[in-house]
Structure 1
């Protein structure tokens, strides 16, 4: 009797999952309770176990995205041979001696279905040692490198600049010595307009000869130039990076799916600047980090979310989902584009912990070590255009969130204080919000709460 292995429902309106990894091979005998497969959705990961002893048949390979309820394999529990050749095979146990080893784009999780061949580190026909870096891949969030699983001659099949699906064979390494390498190895082939990228090939070599799973590395980003760049008179045409395409799609979708409205105010930074100057030395001695402005804004936003809970929610279909936690995203600019890592449980963190988290994320963003988990799950976002000199802007929502706060540059401006004109360090604040869920009164109240907390930081420390 065959037991179907299906993708289970994951709740939260999740409609699909990615086959991240098969722990057992096609045709392999498994025991009840053995881990069979790891599934990843855009929110969570989970593993399926064998319901009984039997022989595993895989029908959907690693890297494929399938709908909830899809049959991805089966268990033959009577000990008979499994059904004939499945649609997609899982990795075999061993590669044949002397056979070329495929270099495959491995699954990257978080529903990522494709990657861009950013830069070949070795040339076509060149001899490579085991463990040498062969290629840099870019997904819509991070950069990754693949190493050579064996020593041999590299045969490149997909040139730089091409976007390919997870599971695609982009090269092979033929076992051999340096003497067999092609003299004056040529650069990797240029993409031809009429030549399509190789079709996805979920079939992989043995686990011992597969490239390492995608892992974010700390190398400089590959330049967007080379084979994918075409000069046309006084212009240059090049493909958008995956990250830039992702940002573009994300921002356009935000405009199309929410009724975005922005309200403005300004905050007098005198009290915060004075407090920082007064305690900075002692703060650094005790905590090892500087007391910056961002921790004040994170704590002010957290308090405002408690006071105006409608902004700490989102719309899903005809329902409103209200969050009872305070995970705040902080936008950080990198060489590749904007990333928004999330500070978890900000209501439970001290100013020092918030500052340390921000420093850690900034370093991970610069080095490329940011993980998918770091970028997901926020309920509200803070964007600081002021570090670039922005005086005023209207930030765009980060769906499905219902609010985003824009910080701006601090300017010395004349303002009226108790009937007198004084020069004060002033900052414009902008709150963009989803007007479908948040009314104007609530948005203005929220922004004033933030203003009051920043201008009276001692009250914020007491959560007043």
Structure 2
């Protein structure tokens, strides 16, 4: 039986990749999830694992050739490989096979669940169970943190936790083994003896580390930037250094001299005793890096306006009871702002566009990002095709994403693909701010606190509920005229909501 090996998902807006390296040749034995080859795109390096165990058959695409997503790369003959192929099986695969065969009967490994595209490692944030505890099938036993989302680890079946390989705060690679459990009714003993931390040492730290081949793109970048490979921590399989690792190392190494040249001012022993030093979570590190990247990459400007919220508030008060009774969801302000932004994006499409290399990509749809604060940091779930939704559908979608965000249950897919973002700092009391872009988007609208202020209407001073609006935009794509026009259209739609119904 033959199994096809195809190009995996390459990421949003990536349409092709180049085969950089084949790590196996026809006739070689391969194990499930063993890396076969490596692809390079203009954004990331992608590893291609084997979907089955068997023997590598025909290699359809040679090194240096270009392929599209889902294109056929090679074939694998399933089943026992030939004797010749068995001889060339890598040493670490043999070791793994021996370890698996030596595993006591009744024991079940607890692996790292799928972390999502381009995520190669995670940190164990919390163990909810300890060695010796009994668990039910699908009961949550641990929580992992990646640089994008939190991932829950369920028990694969009922039984007893017998060993924990990765302690809290330690890092584990995608596909790694977190712990071991004795299956319910299994013959193996579930003695409460924790696995020492040394057992989690990856193969890359053993004597065979020098046999591990780094990503070609990583070697090239290290050579160009003069970076010592020993100073770069690899996130690839078995500690292989990937292109992203070099980029992270180069970005963090630049400010290092300044930091060492100007250390923090000495503090008294009394002050030091009252300080608390907490390591940043992977999510917080990613938020910090992405926000700084946005400032460094985009030509970011912010334009301001203010909106009289009386019409929206009156309309909401008039219909909110009927709305909730019919649709089962409360009528909030976010659906009005989403509808107003969708309306304005149709007139000023560059605010809904993005730069890709030397191209500007205009989106003929609106995937609305809604920034949400969580206990672990800011996340931006995406409401897909918001331009096709009713007020009730928008409110339901925002409510669902908000609950998932607070519970740490957002998937990577739910935070990808946004074309424009709304951020509501008003819920925290912010009166005015300048929001930062969410790359690669070209615009973000900042909402703020509604505050009664005196304004002049028809020559008279009246008190109205006013809100400041801020649009931050990428000046490389959006001109000042377009940015101001967009914000004025949002203002007009909110001050006269009937315009949304009339498409004016």
TM-score, normalised with respect to structure 1? 0.74
Q: What is the deviation of 1:316? A: 0.8
> SS at 1:235's partner residue?
coil
Separation in structure 2 between the aligned mates of residue 371 and residue 318 of structure 1, nearest angstrom: 31
User: Whose helix proportion is higher, 1 or 2?
Assistant: 2
- 1:320 & 1:169 partners in 2: Cα distance? 43
Q: Is residue 2:142 matched to residue 1:135?
A: yes
Alignment pair present for 1:199 and 2:206: no
Q: Distance in 2 between matches of 1:161 and 1:28?
A: 30
How has the CA–CA distance of structure 1 residues 415 and 254 changed in structure 2, closer, same or farther, with 3 Å as cutoff? same
Kept in 2, the 8 Å contact 1:334–1:365? The answer is yes
Runs (5+) with no aligned partner, structure 1: 18-25, 30-35, 59-66, 204-230
> Are residues 449 and 108 of structure 1, via their aligned partners in 2, closer, same or farther at CA, if it must alter by over 3 Å?
same
State the Cα distance separating 1:311 from its structure 2 match.
1.0
Offset from partner CA, 1:54-91 (integer Å, 9 cap, x none):
95449xxxxxxxx9869987535999727331587599
Cα pair distance change 1:386/1:158, threshold 3 Å: same
Equivalent residues of 2:370, 2:422 under 8 A apart: yes
Alignment partner of 2:497 out of 445, 457, 460: 457
**Unpaired runs of 5+ in structure 2?**
20-28, 58-64, 205-236, 239-270
Q: In 2, distance between residues paired with 1:129 and 1:376? A: 34
1:133–1:177 CA distance, 2 compared to 1 (3 A)? farther
Q: Which whole-Å CA distance do the structure 2 matches of 1:6 and 1:179 have between them?
A: 42
Aligned length: 400
Cα distance change, pair 168–461 in 1 and its aligned pair in 2 (3 A): same
Q: CA deviation at 1:48?
A: 11
Report which stretch shifted further, 354-363 or 143-152.
143-152
Taking structure 2 as the reference length, the TM-score comes to: 0.69
Q: Which residue of 1 aligns with 2:89?
A: 85
Corresponding residue for 1:161?
169
> Given the alignment of the two structures, is residue 7 of structure 1 paired with residue 13 of structure 2, yes or no?
no
User: Is the CA contact 1:268–1:424 (under 8 Å) kept in the aligned structure 2?
Assistant: yes
In the superposition, relative to structure 1, how do residues 104 and 271 fare at CA in structure 2: closer, same or farther (>3 Å)?
Answer: same
Q: CA deviation at 1:439?
A: 0.9
Partner Cα distance (1:301, 1:156) in 2:
50
CA–CA distance in structure 1, aligned partners of residues 464 and 404 of structure 2: 35
SS of 1:278's partner is helix
Alignment of 1:315-464 (within 5 A): 315-464=355-504
Aligned match for 1:181, one of 178, 187, 191: 191
Counterpart pick for 1:144 among 126, 145, 152: 152
More RCO (CA 8 Å, sep 6+):
1
Q: Please state whether the residue corresponding to 2:463 is helix, strand or coil.
A: strand
Q: CA RMSD in A?
A: 4.3
Match of 2:111 in 1: 104
Partner residue of 2:319?
279
Matches for 1:163-312 after TM superposition, within 5 Å: 163-173=171-181, 181-182=191-192, 198-199=201-202, 233-312=273-352
Tell me how far apart the structure 2 counterparts of residues 414 and 112 of structure 1 sit (CA, whole Å): 52
Correspondence for 1:228: none
CA distance in 2, matches of 1:8, 1:366: 31
Q: Distance in 1 between matches of 2:9 and 2:376?
A: 35
